[in-house]
Amino acid sequence: MKLRKIGGVAGRMKRRRREKERSADDQVLAVARAKLWTDRAVSARKAGRMADASRCEDKARDWSSRARQIERLRREARPRDG
């Protein structure tokens, strides 16, 4: 049996839907990672490991930045009514 490639409008719609779902999943992951690294930074600071806390805060900041970037890209990709 030969597989057929979906083309035309239906193919583009499916591709867009997958991209939207992927970006939503990526944003959820980025927010979860930011929370995880923030919690680790707090734990390290309480334990007196200041160098570890600093590294964890840097990672939390990176993941928060990534989440904001994904949100901005999603907003820009949304069609505007007008």
- 4 lies in some domain: no
Mean of pLDDT over the chain: 85
Q: Residue 47 is part of which domain span?
A: 34-75
This model's pTM is above 0.75:
no
Written as six digits, the tokens of 47 are: 């334990």
pLDDT at site 1: 57
CA torsion through residues 16, 17, 20, 22, sign: negative
Digit-coded pLDDT (tens) for 30-69: 999 999 999 999 999 999 999 999 999 999 999 999 999 9
For residue 47, count other CB atoms closer than 10 A to its CB: 10
Number of domains in the chain: 1
Alpha helices in 4-49 (DSSP H): 8-46
Determine, yes or no, domain membership for 55.
yes
**Residue 44 counted as domain residue:** yes
Give dist(CA 63, CA 36) in Å, integer: 10
Establish if 14 belongs to a structural domain: no
pLDDT band at 3 (very low <50, low <70, confident <90, very high): low
Are 60 and 17 a contacting pair, CB within 8 Å? no
